[in-house]
Amino acid sequence: MSETILDVCDLSVERSGKVVIRDVCLNVTEGDFVGIVGPNGSGKSTLLLTILGVLKPKSGTIQIYGKSPNSMMTNKKIGWVSQAAANLPKNVKITVRELVKLGTINRANMFDRLKSSSNDRVDEAIRKTGLENVKHTEIGRLSGGQKQRAVIARALASEADFIILDEPMVGIDRDSKNSLLRLLDNLCHEEGKTILMVSHDVTAMRQTAHRLVFLEETIRFDGPVKSFPGMDKLADLRGIEPVH
């Protein structure tokens, strides 16, 4: 049986005094590719930030690899790709390789000189993400899709087993989007990574994820992609009534 990576039970979270998500239960097992979809303001990013330990729940529990969020063991296993990760300020001059190298630094080794094994991880992460021809190029000169690949490479260089992504397809063109989705699929199937990804692009997620979760304050649907409801059924699940 596959190991349970993430176990969220009866989770409710408040932000600015308002309940953003309520009674959320979510289970992710090793090797899953789970897509969380829903409209803007539905609580998707709030859920991720609570899983990561950035936000505190109003009620409910979260276990990652059997530990609470933000434990040292948990942090080593998670690769976090935030919505703003690739949007570095223009005055920051850093190459792709330098950015990816940051993924090898943690609290235990931050004052050590980079070891050859770390260099190997950086090179391998760059190869897996198809960035070898731009590894010495400054991030600011890359396309949107290349920037997203670079921050994913940084997560891979950390040797993370569980990769969490928040809207990585925003602002990139169709070809870059397809390339990124193929990369994530390969990481899941060929590298054994577990992926939890938030996106508002339901169509793209239906082409890639193994399982879809529709979140709008609470979970309205959780199941295999082939069972994801059509537009009429989805409207019913969301409580949206026809006006004609």
Model confidence at 109, in pLDDT bands (50, 70, 90)? very low
Beta bridge partners of 79: 163
Helical H segments across the chain, by residue range? 44-51, 72-77, 96-101, 116-128, 144-157, 174-189, 202-206, 231-238
pLDDT per residue over 52-66, tens digit each? Answer: 999 999 999 999 999
Residue 143 CA from chain centroid, whole number:
20
Instruction: Determine which helix (DSSP H) or strand (DSSP E) holds 81, and give its type and residue range.
Output: strand 78-81
**For residues 133 and 146, is the Cβ–Cβ distance under 8 A?**
no
Q: CA-to-CA distance for 23 and 157, rounded, in angstroms?
A: 35
Q: Which CATH superfamily is domain 4-238 in?
A: P-loop containing nucleotide triphosphate hydrolases (3.40.50.300)
Q: What whole-number percentage of the chain has pLDDT above 70?
A: 91
Identity of the amino acid at 29: T
Give the strands of the sheet with 59-64, arranged side by side: 18-29, 4-15, 59-64
Q: What is the pTM of this model?
A: 0.86
The 8-class DSSP code of residue 200 comes to: S
The 8-class DSSP code of residue 65 comes to: T
Decide if pLDDT at 97 tops 50.
yes
- The ranges assigned to domains in the chain are 4-238
Model confidence at 111, in pLDDT bands (50, 70, 90)? very low
Q: CA-to-CA distance for 150 and 28, rounded, in angstroms?
A: 25
Decide if pLDDT at 81 tops 60.
yes
Q: Which two tokens stand for residue 44?
A: 């998707």
Identity of the amino acid at 88: L
pLDDT per residue over 23-56, tens digit each? Answer: 999 999 999 999 999 888 889 999 999 999 999 9
Decide if pLDDT at 112 tops 60.
no
Q: What is the per-residue pLDDT for 104?
A: 82
Q: What is the per-residue pLDDT for 144?
A: 83
pLDDT per residue over 123-172, tens digit each? Answer: 888 998 889 999 999 888 888 888 888 888 888 888 889 999 998 888 78
Q: What is the mean pLDDT of the chain?
A: 85
